[in-house]
A and B are shown apart, each in its own frame.
Chain A
């Protein structure tokens, strides 16, 4: 009998549509898999067994009634715990929201439900999406299915690990500085950051509002494109949502799968292929660049001189926005309240609540942001970082006058051992060295598995111009057709 958890989303949807398998069977198979392995992986913070089976039954009933089903109907999906889910716990990996059940669905989740996908539950993440290893989750780390002593990336380590552990065929992440792409790279899965404004932030718990971008995660490029199509597009409830149709990402993924990149010009970012990346990562990247050339792509080297300032600019801009956004966690409207004994003042209760509810990385970033925004430091820190953001954007637009897309390794290093970088926060920040420029620019980027280094996955990143998301899917699918997909050892 076919192991339903090993199939792609496309194949699962096909089986459900033809009636060869029911959505309930597909869902139960994934719930059973979660039951069997998640104790070791810890990809999930909450499994919504009843909700999932009810959603699956509804799909089966609609099919039985002869209704037309969408392209992903009956396919299970795991959702990062940063998106609100009506009546289903949403913690953002933080103690400050422990037990909170939102009274509304985020737009992404609403669209997932409308498309007939089956939400299995909520995935683990670094608290408030701040981190690169999922070790900053208040509920304990997620483990990499390739080697459970190693990190699965972050902040969306749960969403990526759920795919690699075959607990879900699809998942949703959010990418502020690499939180979809970096976990994708280190777990051998596909993760796409759409154009900023291409996916709605309504119901996405805010970290850095000018950078936060929800997006699709999958085990192959076409599945990611189908999920992108379902969740993307204009949302009037998000004023930064772009009022334009979703680029034809599914068509582009199918086109790319033919393996022909004739006429496509790709730029290798020279700043990201020097000493910044470890040798095993560079070896896999170089082989993939050769593979892309064999598929017909023209490869050139492109210098983006300001990219080296992206990391420091990001770690001023994102904490600044976070210090403002996280002011809403004040123990008044939702979540934790500590020390309200009838004698303490509101300010004292607020300070005790935030002290107890936030973990160390969140506190660090709130304080850095508060510092960068304070008078006397504003111009030298936040103001200067915003100017650097302009220069990084110009590097991208200049590059895209010469090439169709930029490529680089997704991360400087493969999955590192749990605990290796928690004592030095800045060492953790370096994991996002190659992914951050795209967030500052606002364009789309995807990480696709491109090889192994000492048995651990390496990702290749494709960065495209704003609203040219289709272009990165074409290149990613072409590379996948050449190098294949990568399967972790049995858990």
Chain B
């Protein structure tokens, strides 16, 4: 393999997994493998999964593990070149025109060249990401499924050779292609042509052990007991029919809330009061509150103690 990698890139999957762990991110070995391959093959990594399973977090954590600059592009419908790639700084251009006028000598061609030079260019995330002069870059293209097909088409072009052409100025090419992480909540299918250029990984909800670990590392104030119970309850909750299943982000929010309420273990009353942190639809809250919640809690406690016993 070529040896031109940046100094901080991990040399093996284990090392990468360790590095992620050091940033408080609990990654499966399979996920670590995908990230590792994305780094060594220099290909974009396409992460899909339900909301709140930690897709965005991967990019953030990766950036800090690599000591790289994180550049984030949040997608939305109608995202266009002026928001994603570049825009001209109109007010400065206008000002400049006035200055030229005042100085009296207007050479048409020269003025135009000057007006559309890099000096008046506002670089947006995609263009910024090509500039590796300030060290390595992790480019996060977040929630691509929110953008429309037109943008996807543009992205396809940019990701294939990491260069962007601005008609007035010229072509920008990345000396060192950025590490690209694309996430999607799968509210629509992303076009195959784009996915084919990427390494693909589906992030699932974590299992009980992993979620407990995540809670423990992210909310260290929570006791082992509380963390275990919370994780077990959330696991049970995910098994019920909900319009919106709580993600890891919700688990963490909930744990933090419980900690700040000085709760050391789960009880029906506490859950009833704080259910809104987990469930974001009124129908869901109503369905779970009361009887079903008690049943879930029972099962969760049972599971939690079983687990604890085995471990102890």
Chains A and B are bound partners: no
Task: Mark B residues whose CB is within 8 Å of A.
Answer: none
